[in-house]
Structures are given as structure tokens and as C-alpha cells.
């Protein structure tokens, strides 16, 4: 079973948006997907409840209640929407459950400072240092051609982990979320700019570079 975790200690950075769209991508590709939501606010699970029956099935896991014990055995990809404010032993325990970790970061001074502290802590974990878990970062909800995005772009480019892409602030994400869909389920004429921005993410997730060893 492949474990893909979306995490950042800073709340409001779009973890659930990335997690639901990653789950939607793998489901559309034909994989048996489960989505584990560690946040009691149930953002990812609420998305699943709105998901149309004709779309590829994704199993929801209320990880904030019983962890990952109810994940079906035939799951091929488990996407984990990690909780905010995760540090120390809790972070270490979560990272033990993932081979692949994606960290979304917003273009704001507060989020960049928080991300710097979070990444420093994450990179110190033994599982990460031994390359048993691979990391990548994504700039999220960006407005291109702004100074604050330029600062974020420079910061993420200097990290010692892959900087995959910058995802624009788009109403397509809200439109898709409200319908229980991913941007990959939206019509091409509407979502092609978002598909293009996701290509580096889906390519990295599908490559050996995103897996240990």
C-alpha cells in the first residue's frame, strides 16, 4: 500500500485541498484509494460525502477517531490529510506512516516563517534523514506576478527538497470541493490551466523519486 501524506503544522494552508485532489487523481487513474482525515473538522470527509456515485470510489477514514485501523486491506493508495499544529512526538509518529510527504505553503510572511520552522523540524526526523520518507513542497493558492509570491518562490527554491509547482488561486478548487470532485473531474475547457500546474505533482508522485530507496 502506498502512503501519501499532506502535512504542515500551519493551519489554513490548503492541506485538505491537496489531499482531496491527490485522492481524486489516483482514483481517476484506476487505483483503489482511501482518504484518511485526521482533522476533527472533517473537511476531507465532508468532501467525500458530496462525491457523486458515478465517480471512482474513494473510501473515507475518520482517522481522528481510530487512526488508520479501518483502512481496507485492498487499498492501493492511502492519502493522509494530517492535522495542523503537529510537532514533536506526534509529528514523528505521523511521518512513520508515510513514504511520500507533500507540504503546501501559502504566499504570506507568516506562512513562510511557519514553514521554515516546520521544515527544519521535519528534516531532523530520522525517517526523513534515512530517506525512508521523501518530501516535496508546493506553493499553494498563489497569485502570480506579486512580490509576496516572488519571495515564496525564492524561499522554496532554496530548500533541500523538491519544489514541485505553484498552484494558482482558482475558483475551480471551490467549485470541485462543493461537488465532491477533484479538479481532474472537471471539464477540460474549465480546468486545463489547473491540470497543467498539477503535472509536476502527478509526475513526481508517479516516479521512483517520490519513493524511498
Q: Which of 70, 73, 97 is nearest to 83 (CA)?
A: 97
How many other C-beta atoms can be found within 10 angstroms of the C-beta atom of residue 211?
14
Place of cell 492501493: 76
pTM of the model: 0.94
Name the DSSP class of 14. Answer: S
Name the DSSP class of 62. Answer: E
Whether the CB-CB separation of 210 and 136 falls below 8 Å is answered with: yes
Half-sphere exposure of 134 (CA within 13 A, CB side): 17
**Fold for domain 2-201?**
Rossmann fold (3.40.50)
For residue 129, what are the CA distances in angstroms to 5, 70, 119, 155, 213?
A: 17, 30, 12, 21, 12
User: Residue-wise over 41-80: b if at least 16 C-beta within 10 A, else e?
Assistant: ebbbbbbbeebeeeebebbbbebbeeeeeebeeebebbbb
In the prediction, which pLDDT does 199 show? Answer: 97
For 112-166, write each residue's pLDDT tens digit: 998 888 888 888 888 888 888 899 999 999 998 899 999 999 999 998 899 999 9
**DSSP annotation string for 112-177:** HHHHHHHHHHHHTSHHHHTTSSEEEEEEEEE-TT-HHHHHHHHHHHTSSS-EEEEEE--HHHHHHH
For residue 70, what are the CA distances in angstroms to 34, 63, 92, 174?
A: 10, 9, 21, 29
Does the pLDDT at position 213 exceed 80?
A: no
For 178-208, write each residue's pLDDT tens digit: 999 999 999 999 999 999 999 999 999 987 6
For the chain, the domains span 2-201
Q: Could you give the CA distance from residue 194 to residue 174 in angstroms, rounded to a whole number?
A: 13
Amino acid at each position: 500500500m502506498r502512503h501519501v501524506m499532506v502535512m504542515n503544522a500551519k493551519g489554513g494552508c490548503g492541506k485538505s485541498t491537496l489531499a482531496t485532489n491527490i485522492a481524486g487523481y489516483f482514483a481517476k487513474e484506476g487505483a483503489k484509494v482511501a482518504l484518511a482525515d485526521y482533522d476533527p473538522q472533517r473537511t476531507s470527509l465532508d468532501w467525500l460525502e458530496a462525491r457523486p456515485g458515478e465517480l471512482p470510489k474513494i473510501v473515507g477514514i475518520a482517522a481522528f477517531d481510530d487512526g488508520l485501523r479501518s483502512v481496507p486491506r485492498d487499498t492501493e493508495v492511502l492519502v493522509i490529510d494530517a492535522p495542523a499544529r503537529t510537532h514533536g512526538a506526534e509529528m514523528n509518529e505521523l511521518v512513520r506512516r508515510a513514504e511520500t510527504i507533500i507540504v503546501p505553503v501559502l504566499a504570506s510572511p507568516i506562512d513562510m516563517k511557519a514553514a521554515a520552522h516546520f521544515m527544519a523540524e521535519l528534516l531532523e526526523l530520522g525517517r526523513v534523514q534515512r530517506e525512508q520518507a521523501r518530501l516535496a513542497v508546493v506553493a499553494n493558492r498563489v497569485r502570480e506576478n506579486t512580490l509576496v509570491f516572488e519571495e515564496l518562490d525564492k524561499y522554496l527554491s532554496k530548500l533541500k527538497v523538491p519544489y514541485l509547482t505553484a498552484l494558482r488561486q482558482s475558483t475551480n478548487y471551490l467549485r470541485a470541493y462543493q461537488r465532491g470532485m477533484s479538479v481532474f473531474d472537471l471539464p477540460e475547457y474549465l480546468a486545463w490551466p489547473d491540470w497543467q500546474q498539477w503535472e509536476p505533482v502527478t509526475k513526481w508522485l508517479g516516479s521512483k523519486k517520490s519513493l524511498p530507496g
